[in-house]
Amino acid sequence: MTFAMTHQGDGNVRMTVLDETGRRATGVLNDRNAVDTTTRAELSPGIYLLNVRAAGQWTVEVE
């Protein structure tokens, strides 16, 4: 799974992927200030949730 993320802010931005029970499956991003990045995570087929904490506007595209 590929995650393309942007963040426009001065503070911390963190994104984790949670499984369908709400448990952490993997951490994808933990950074500060403005971000424009793409990262890949190996995940088994299933239902997942994104938990994003950001001090500013953000976007995520998942493929």
Determine how many CB atoms are found less than 10 A away from the CB of residue 49.
Answer: 12
Average pLDDT score over residue span 4-9:
94
pLDDT for 30 equals 92
pLDDT for 31 equals 92
46 DSSP 8-state letter: S
Instruction: Using pLDDT thresholds of 50, 70 and 90, give the confidence band for residue 10.
Output: confident
Cα separations (Å) of 32 from 5, 17, 35? 13, 18, 8
Q: How far apart are CA 14 and CA 53, in angstroms?
A: 5
Determine how many CB atoms are found less than 10 A away from the CB of residue 13.
Answer: 22
Domain regions of the chain by residue span: 2-54
Task: Check pLDDT > 90 for residue 9.
Answer: no
Question: Which tens digit of pLDDT belongs to each residue from 12-53?
Answer: 999 999 999 999 999 999 998 899 999 999 999 999 999 999
